[in-house]
Structure 1
Amino acid sequence: MNVNMDKSQEIFYKILSEHKELSSLPQVLAEVLKISSDDNSSADDLADVIMKDPALAAKLLRVVNSPFCGMAREVTSIKQAVMTLGIRTVTAIALSTSIYDLTNKIDSLINRKKFWRHSLEVAIASRMIAEKIGYGSPEEAFVAGLLHDIGVLILESSFPEEFKRIWRLVESGEKQELVEQRTWGTDHAKAGQFLLDQWGIPKKLGEAIGAHHEMIDHGEPASSKKLNLILNLANQISRFRVYSMPPPESKDLENRDVIAASLEISQEQLAKICENLVSEVIKESGYLEIKIGSLEELFLQANQLLFKQYLATENLLRENRTMKQQINRDQVKKAALESLNSLSATFSHYINNAISAILGRAELIEAGITRGEIIDKNGSAGLSSQIIIEAVDTISIILGELNKISMYDDSSQLDDSYLADFEEKIKTQLKNLEKASAPIGG
């Protein structure tokens, strides 16, 4: 059996043993989920269950009468609220607000306002993407988004010391899910999925939450489960983060593009969703009564994000400029090398012709002396002829070495050992040439 699987199961059951209150959902919420998944249930059935929980009933009435719903007349009954909003929307509100209240009872060092700010942003982005692509239940996407990081709170509460160490690494720029995997053999996404399965929440919600950090390489078939892709993409376009994040890597951007293409949502549509996210987060946090911080806190974080984006862009432009300069230098070097190679080939051609002429004349002189056609009383003509032939051979060897270098397209291909060996060969040949050129009898 997989060691990591064994370890992760131990982790999950430790969570449940330490948090008995998480082993099951509150009774009313469990009944709400049961009714919403039963096609034969009616608005009356759902209203009857909600009225068992006065706090939930009061919150539902506040939501339906908020400016967000834009009701012409005040809604005063739960049945009317259910009929107005619809069973799916009421279930989403009940689930979201109940789990929000439930998890806020768990002790945590994480900034809760930042946590729910990010969660609500992902929830709204998920719903917007779902609506844009015509997904059957945008409310379902909203709930998945709101609960996608619930595993973070659970792991932190169950393993406070390990989590502190993990959080320090995450704040320094490491990927949270990777550090969690190294530590526990599982991550917050899988922990969240496990918890939702325990609660009997529809499987597809748990699966989407468990897969919201999955990477999809270019060319790899994306998941056919659209809710998984919607949540993954919504999480990636979120700007309000619980912790500081480094700029995305190229593989992260490629993953986002692959998912967007799989969902058939354009970059322009995605940009429009991002443009409207902050205002929607502010508006919906109010009527859902989810504490995400004051407007001042939100705008401060937005300004910080903007400044970080500015710095990232500035660094990118600087790197781009440096790269261009390097490319220009490399292009100049390449052009110079090509010119040098061309000149070397031209000079070699003329020098080889001259060498051939000199060598030919020297050999004629030597042949003339041998045949007695040229009188060489003291033998100096023969010696000179031999010296000329040896000097020409030396020049030919040097030219041969130079031609070898000119065959390289890139000077970086010439390593230090080759150049040192080349220099030694040339020095040896030049010494030979110097000796050969010394005056006779000198």
Structure 2
Amino acid sequence: MSDPTTPLDRLAAKAGQFYSLPVVAMKVLELTNNPKVDIAALKRCIENDPALTTKVLRVVNSSLFGLSREVSDLNQALALLGTKPLKLLVLGFSLPEPLFDGVAADILGWYWQHTLTKAVAAREISETFGRQSGDEAFIAGLLQDLGILLLIQELGDTYVRFLEKVLARGGDLVALETASLGFDHTMLTSRLLRHWGLPEVLVEAMRRSGAPPPAASTSSAPSLSQVVHWAGLVAQLVADGRSDALSQLLALGDGSQGLSPEQLDQLVGSLRQKVEQLADVLSLRLPEGRDYHHVLVEAHVQLAQVAAEVAEDLVAQRESRRTLQSESQAFAHECQSLSDAVAKISQPGPASAPLAPGGRRAPEPAAVRSSSQPAVSSSGRSGPVDTRTQGRAVVTSADAEIDPGLLGQLDAAVSACRRSQCALSLLLVELDEVERLTITYGVEGLGKLRRFLETGCASVDHPQAVCLPYRDVGFAVILPDCERQPAVRYANQLIDRVRGLTPGRWSPGRRAVGISVGAATLSVPTKSFPPENLFEAAHRCLYGSRASGGVVKSIEIY
């Protein structure tokens, strides 16, 4: 059961008080929730908003629906489409105006370009490749990022600076939000849509924490959450210019659970034109257009370059990371600022207090109690851990060097778990015997193995899991609100998945691919706990796992 005093719950409650669906949308929901829909009453209700009626008819007549003849009124629209698609369109185009108040033009331009690309891609994927209606997928894609607007209104400039820096660096917004806030904007969207009474299938499809579960079989139609997830990756790739999203899409395709390269090329070919047409229909101004197909080609080139670099000297890559240290530390500061802002604004207050755009002042958070319990090691021995420091703990081993970006996100996760008084676990996962893998499978095969491992780490069945790159062939999985035992279970599931599925996928009959996993759990972080200590503990366990032939090693610190 969730804690009603968590930042997510309090922000969602405030949003529900301040942002309501327009009267027309609420009435449409009421009429369509009746088993016997009154078509005439539904038509009269929508016609009460002439601007909405015009918008719906223009979308219905666009290339998105591909109708054989023009629809001139709602009677024809209802006859051709039925009540469900029309209801979804009305809900999708009836957003509360205060959500957009004061949002800068450049941020709004990015928001609509990303959102419309995702919505159109979701519809195309559902209908063309999933062979099912794309109405729900379109609306789910259109609504999923409303939480971004909510966070802008609630946290103001603090969130805007955070968002701008994430977009400028091509970062994973959802992962960084989770590390900083303890939740992401799609979870906030889900709560708001449930408050509005929208269909539960839409509510459940909103959440994007980690990759959705795979389909039951390769022949079954993809679920709505899967379609929206794939469409989100497409939007990140072509609208946001995140070339790393291509590797995730191709990894899903390798597993017969996503789009093949040919399907992706087909989808992207017509996407930009439909997005621009939809923007014109909705009277929205998008940023200067980019050639989506050209973006896809560039991403393929960059992905090939990355695969080639896997076999290069690792020392040169580490040196390159060091040159980005100052920028990464500055970004860690933005994560911490966002974490502090949500802590202040989500403190308990009068239940009737409205949510004000830009945020309100709230009482300072209560002091966090510290703990001096002994640590329990993987060998069963216990001993005291001194959390008193004069600054940050230093990881002295060169082999255990922590990337500043990972450090910043781990720092934010420690802060979030301290506020929520819950445990925090960290998994460090790496492919074993990289030199042998490169010789056996080649550079391209090693790249596929790394993408497969990334997909597995991103699919850990924990609602707040955050997957981040770790060194050259590994990943760090941050698990807020996760005790040691489930963390070890997730680690073993990763090992089983890699061992069980990789041997015959790229080179039949060859030795199974193995991974090593180190797990460290922090029981309720104290106020002065340095995140480097958790990383160093997980790294020692990773070393132990590698030495023991891939057995998970874990440790719990207090």
The one of 266, 275, 284 equivalent to 2:269 is 275
- Structure-2 residue corresponding to 1:364: none
The one of 141, 145, 167 equivalent to 2:141 is 145
Equivalent-residue separation in structure 2 for 1:217 and 1:26 (angstroms): 34
Please report the RMSD computed on the Cα atoms of aligned residues, expressed in angstroms.
4.0
Larger Rg: 1
**Cα distance, 1:107 vs structure 2:** 2.9
Equivalent-residue separation in structure 2 for 1:129 and 1:73 (angstroms): 24
**Cα distance, 1:5 vs structure 2:** 7.3
- Structure-1 residue corresponding to 2:112: 116
- Structure-2 residue corresponding to 1:432: none
The one of 276, 280, 286 equivalent to 2:280 is 286
**Cα distance, 1:14 vs structure 2:** 3.9
Asked if the contact 2:243/2:303 (under 8 Å) is kept, the reply is: no
- Structure-2 residue corresponding to 1:7: 7
AA at the equivalent of 2:256: A
Q: Give TM-score scaled by structure 1 length.
A: 0.59
Asked if the contact 2:214/2:257 (under 8 Å) is kept, the reply is: no
- Structure-1 residue corresponding to 2:231: 234
- Structure-1 residue corresponding to 2:179: 182
Equivalent-residue separation in structure 1 for 2:147 and 2:133 (angstroms): 23
**Cα distance, 1:66 vs structure 2:** 5.6
Asked if the contact 2:130/2:222 (under 8 Å) is kept, the reply is: no
AA at the equivalent of 2:299: Q
Aligned residues between the structures: 316
- Structure-2 residue corresponding to 1:353: none
Deviations 1:59-86 (A, max 9, x none): 3344455677677877554323332443
AA at the equivalent of 1:188: H
| Larger relative helix fraction | 1
Deviations 1:394-422 (A, max 9, x none): xxxxxxxxxxxxxxxxxxxxxxxxxxxxx
| Larger relative strand fraction | 2
Matched, 1:315 2:283: no
Equivalent-residue separation in structure 1 for 2:65 and 2:215 (angstroms): 43
Asked if the contact 1:217/1:255 (under 8 Å) is kept, the reply is: no
Percent of pairs identical after alignment?
Answer: 25
Q: Give TM-score scaled by structure 2 length.
A: 0.48
- Structure-2 residue corresponding to 1:419: none
The one of 38, 47, 50 equivalent to 1:51 is 47
Q: 1:6 to 1:68 in 2, by over 3 A?
A: closer
**Cα distance, 1:136 vs structure 2:** 4.9
AA at the equivalent of 2:290: F
Equivalent-residue separation in structure 1 for 2:236 and 2:160 (angstroms): 23
**Cα distance, 1:202 vs structure 2:** 0.6
Deviations 1:229-258 (A, max 9, x none): 1111111122566755362486x3476337
Equivalent-residue separation in structure 2 for 1:217 and 1:89 (angstroms): 26
Asked if the contact 2:237/2:244 (under 8 Å) is kept, the reply is: no
SS in 2 for 1:261: coil
- Structure-1 residue corresponding to 2:510: none
1:69-88 correspondence runs (5 A): 76-88=72-84
Equivalent-residue separation in structure 2 for 1:234 and 1:68 (angstroms): 15
The answer for unaligned runs of 5 or more in structure 1 is 332-442
Equivalent-residue separation in structure 2 for 1:311 and 1:150 (angstroms): 33
Asked if the contact 2:123/2:134 (under 8 Å) is kept, the reply is: yes
Equivalent-residue separation in structure 2 for 1:257 and 1:67 (angstroms): 27
Q: 1:137 to 1:35 in 2, by over 3 A?
A: farther
Matched, 1:299 2:294: no
Equivalent-residue separation in structure 1 for 2:139 and 2:78 (angstroms): 18
Equivalent-residue separation in structure 2 for 1:25 and 1:230 (angstroms): 26
1:4-403 correspondence runs (5 A): 6-16=6-16, 20=18, 22=19, 24-64=20-60, 76-99=72-95, 103-105=99-101, 107-108=103-104, 111-134=107-130, 136-167=132-163, 168-210=165-207, 212-215=208-211, 226-239=223-236, 243=240, 245=242, 247-248=244-245, 252-253=248-249, 256-257=252-253, 261-262=256-257, 266-287=260-281, 289-293=282-286, 297-299=288-290, 305=295, 309=299, 312-313=302-303, 315-316=305-306, 319=309, 322=312
